[in-house]
Structure 1
Amino acid sequence: MSRTALVAIGGNSLIVDKDNPDLPHQWDAVRETCRHLADMIEDGWRLIVTHGNGPQVGYILRRNELSAHEVHTTPLDIIVADTQGSIGYMLQQALSNELFSRNYDVPVVSVVTQVIVNEDDPAFQSPSKPIGGFMTEAQAKLFEAQGWQVVEDAGRGWRRVVASPKPIRIVEEQAIQQLVAAGGVVIAVGGGGIPVVQNRKGELREIQGVMAVIDKDWASGLLAAQLQVDLLLISTGVPQVAIHFNTPQQEDLGQVTAVQLKQYLDEGHFAPGSMRPKIEAVLDFLEKGGKQALITSPDNIGKAMRHETGTWIKG
């Protein structure tokens, strides 16, 4: 593919104001993000769009809790599939409308995406990814009795944790590639993809969902490498990556090499669960033959593409 970018946007990008997480405000955030995506399309880029789903998964889990006495609860793999559909719908509608307003006839489609993980991944032995809201110790004990693992979170309460295994392969990779080659914008790997493991029964391949979540940035980097895109763009809450973040010595990074970035990673500059997985995804993408990557905030994508801000990383 030529001139193709994979743009990864965070689930928190849909909820700009934590005091106003309702759907009308999410629609406003999605429309704003899609304006920047449309700018890239107008500049000649083919796009694959991935997205996070952390807050939305939390809301569904809470609904499960509140309605458990009336209706069945929902397993985690189905919740990821649900959010792929709902967030994908919002993105494809907003982007289609934005492109139509600019007289661009570009099809936009969402692909419910499964991602294979290794059932022997060490992450399954040490679940560490928090999901859902905080709860009391008594509530946590009830969830533990149901088979969940729970941990105490820095004095703020108890939370459920699940495994976060590394992605191995995107099941729908070929379909995504064909849709992009046909000229479409494809929304895929939502929430890191639906985690599945692969078993073999004789000559038949069987895949099955598992209780886990995959980091959206890891999955995005893997898909970008598999499709050999020209640019991996990860949008986040800051316009540039920084070392010594939030200290008087903070230094924003404009352009760095993969070697320099790996050194900063090894020195512990990037927090787990925040910037670290983004850096790991970028380095993995470049190690697998990727050309270049960019990290910036959604509202700075245009400026970053003109090299006026953002952090550019090359192998």
Structure 2
Amino acid sequence: MSKTAVIALGGNALLRGDQKGTIQEQVANTVDTIESIIPLIQKGYNLVIGHGNGPQVGNILMQQAAGADSYSIPEFPLDVCVAESQGSIGYMIASALRNVMAKHGLNREVCCLVTPVVVDRDDAAFSNPTKRVGRIYTQEQADGLAKEKGWVFKEEVRQTGSGWRRVVPSPKPVDVLNAPLVKRLAEEGVIVIAVGGGGVPVAKGEKGTIEPIEAVIDKDSASSLLAAEIGADEFYILTDVPNVYINFRKPDEKKLAQVTIAEVDKYLAEGMFGEGNMAPKIRACKDFLQKGGKVSVITEATKLADPTCGTRITL
């Protein structure tokens, strides 16, 4: 039987930090990233692809704010904006997959699923919102919106000046509602794009209903959970560095190749990984392994042709 791998694409897979975010830029970046995934397709892997949406959903929120200010167009809640970004990004990834596979003489079905992900209403993240979304406001504007909409703001300081930006909770995912369907499609050879942007955040209500939640779920955590729920063999997080390092950018910097959970636990306790950067990725890899996965890999997309690429974490 073919191996199943879940690949979580980082934000740079679609949009680089120095770019404006035009559709032409995002399509070109997506094609480059998909080219890097081709070796796994050639090896016959069943593939599921997750992705980030930070810049894109931020743009959607800013477009809505501009429309509300200029034309009194009603703004949509955050869960709908996440779903919108899942559709647009999923379309770009699916199109790139079809075109790049055709160039390499490969033929696989591709589908994109708008994916709800369940979170716990009692998650501690709801009392400490940290995920920044949308545009930067003046303090006067932020105070007005906080009063009108109940939004929470934190100050943001940049080289171009300071301002106030909305923050929302980032709760831990507890269930991917489409996981059985994703598993079935992947085992049939369909390349599935799912849990985009961490999934559409929902909570379970009475009698099996689902209810929207104003939050943003970490895409690596959601992809890790999906990988575990479908029984994937391997979990990849593609980022902008080929390996994880300890003592990063210090004279005694060391590249990690093969490490165990016990070793990364030690490094986490020592604060070797930044909480806003690598630490959440390490924890997502750990979660997958502790729920039955075989290997987790953190690497840069262009390294996938090498079967020993990246930092490989095992039990």
Which of 85, 89, 94 is the matching residue for 2:87? 85
- Summarize the Cα distance change of 1:49–1:149 in structure 2 as closer, same or farther, 3 Å threshold: same
Give the corresponding residue for 2:31: 31
Which of 169, 184, 194 is the matching residue for 1:178? 184
Give the corresponding residue for 1:169: 175
Give the corresponding residue for 2:204: 198
Q: 2:295, 2:314 within 8 Å by CA — same for their partners in 1? A: yes
Give the corresponding residue for 1:20: 20
Give the corresponding residue for 2:98: 96
1:107 is aligned with what amino acid? Answer: E
User: Percentage identity across aligned positions?
Assistant: 42
Q: 1:262, 1:283 within 8 Å by CA — same for their partners in 2? A: no
Give, in angstroms, the shift of residue 49 of structure 1.
0.3
Give, in angstroms, the shift of residue 217 of structure 1.
0.5
Q: 1:2, 1:230 within 8 Å by CA — same for their partners in 2? A: no
Measure the CA separation in 2 of the matches of 1:298 and 1:266: 28
Measure the CA separation in 1 of the matches of 2:269 and 2:138: 36
Partner SS for 1:289:
coil
Task: Confirm whether residue 129 of structure 1 aligns to residue 131 of structure 2.
Answer: yes
TM-score (norm 1): 0.94
Gaps of 5+ in 2: none
* Aligned residue pairs, count: 309
CA-atom RMSD, angstroms?
A: 1.4
Give the corresponding residue for 1:4: 4
Partner SS for 2:209:
strand
Task: Confirm whether residue 248 of structure 1 aligns to residue 251 of structure 2.
Answer: yes
Give the corresponding residue for 1:239: 242
Q: 2:115, 2:194 within 8 Å by CA — same for their partners in 1? A: yes
TM-score (norm 2): 0.94
Give, in angstroms, the shift of residue 154 of structure 1.
4.8
Deviates more, 1:269-278 or 1:50-59: 269-278
Give the corresponding residue for 1:120: 122
Which of 263, 267, 271 is the matching residue for 2:266? 263
Q: 1:10, 1:52 within 8 Å by CA — same for their partners in 2? A: yes
Which of 284, 287, 293 is the matching residue for 2:287? 284
- Summarize the Cα distance change of 1:133–1:273 in structure 2 as closer, same or farther, 3 Å threshold: farther
Give, in angstroms, the shift of residue 130 of structure 1.
1.1
Q: 1:189, 1:216 within 8 Å by CA — same for their partners in 2? A: yes
Give the corresponding residue for 2:229: 226
Give, in angstroms, the shift of residue 17 of structure 1.
4.5
Gaps of 5+ in 1: none
1:31-80 Cα shifts (integer Å, max 9, x gaps):
01111122210122110000000000110111111110321112100010
Partner SS for 1:218:
helix
